[in-house]
Amino acid sequence: MVELWFAIIALMLTLYVVLDGYDFGAGILHLVVARTDPERRQVLNAIGPYWDGNEVWLIATGTTLFAIFPRVLAAGLSGFYFAIFLLLWCLILRGAAIEFRSHVEEPLWRRFWDAVWCGSSALLALFFGAALGNLIRGLPIDDRGWFGLALFTDWSARPPVGILDWYTLATGLFALGHLALHGANWLALRTDGEVQARSRRLAVPLSLAVAIAWPLITVATVKVFPGLLHAFLTRPFAWFGFLVALGGAISVQIGRRRANDLVAFIGSTAWIAGLMVATAACLFPVMLRAVPEAAHSITAYAAANDPSGLRIGLTWWLIGFPLAVAYHVVVLRIHRGKVHAADRQEY
């Protein structure tokens, strides 16, 4: 049962990164791909029906951790206290920018909120990438299961560690580039005209940059956590995730070469999802890795609720998860097709 819940947490987190990832990417790129107010409205309309629903998966992941792995949530919230406040402010600013932009017709007002949306989206991608880097590199967990992190120490990725060092910054930049590519593929799929053309052109160098950065970040990951390579070589799910990611990377290149936006977007989705699956498979059963004392790591087995709680939680999850998926399917069907620069609807 613990293994199943670990997989469920990984699934929901992957869904969040994939779904809200194209929202982040659209926000990161919208000042580049959209030059006029109607074009920027077009970008907003491309993500408008989905962005707030996509964020539900982050909330669902947090509440599931609370119910199933409360010790992980408690340690993580206290240890990443400052970082979580930064994330919350960025999430608030991002939502405010989307909602407030259309309230006033003044161009300066709209340009301000456009800049806020771009900046908050970029910072969220960077912060979430750095957070994953922290989980892989390890945290200074003590023998009581608690830790605290400075913003940075000596940037070496060796104990004593902080939130930011060369490795976590590298993972953050990799996530920033990858989500920007994902957003470019989404905009190419959902828009037309100049926004689509610019998104297609921008996706080509972004896909090449991410493809080059992937092996580099992999080498860096093995450097800071050598045990990850052994786990990868011995775990079938890690190989499955790698093959999905590799197929996604190839599909992105094929889709961009043939101007097939659907293939490119499915490819970037598979690329991200495969990397998330491979990472989760390599880390299992560890949920919060400790450095330098690996024995202090918090595992899924140590952090899990009692068996009856796991069973009750699974019953409710089997009810709620299909409903959430059905909601996304319905919204996608209702809002299928292209959005145009002339459309007046705005979110």
Query: Is 60 exceeded by the pLDDT of residue 32?
Result: yes
pLDDT in tens, 160-200: 888 899 999 999 999 999 999 999 999 999 999 999 999 99
Looking from the CA of 104 toward its CB, the CA atoms found within 13 Å total 11
For residue range 258-296, list pLDDT tens digits in order: 989 999 999 999 999 999 999 999 999 999 999 888 889
pLDDT digits over 137-162, tens only?
999 998 888 888 888 888 888 888 88
- For the entire predicted model, the pTM comes to 0.93
- Residue 27 clears pLDDT 80, i.e. is over it: yes
Q: Which residue has the higher pLDDT, 16 or 150?
A: 16
pLDDT at residue 347 greater than cutoff 60: no
Q: Which class for 346: exposed (0-12), middle (13-18), buried (19 or more C-beta within 10 A)?
A: middle
Tell which wins on pLDDT, 236 or 152. 236
Tell me, rounded to whole angstroms, the distance of Cα 248 from its chain centroid.
16
What is the per-residue pLDDT for 244? Answer: 97
Q: What is the pLDDT of residue 343?
A: 63
Spell out a b/e string for 256-284, using b for 16 or more CB atoms within 10 Å of the CB, else e.
beeebbebbbbbbbbbbbbbbbbbbbbbb
* Residue-averaged pLDDT of the chain: 91
pLDDT band per the 50, 70, 90 thresholds, residue 241: very high
The pairing of strands 162-164 and 286-288 is unpaired
DSSP 127-175: HHHHHHHHHHH-B---TTS----EEESSSSSSSSPEEESHHHHHHHHHH
Is it the case that residue 345 has pLDDT exceeding 90?
Answer: no
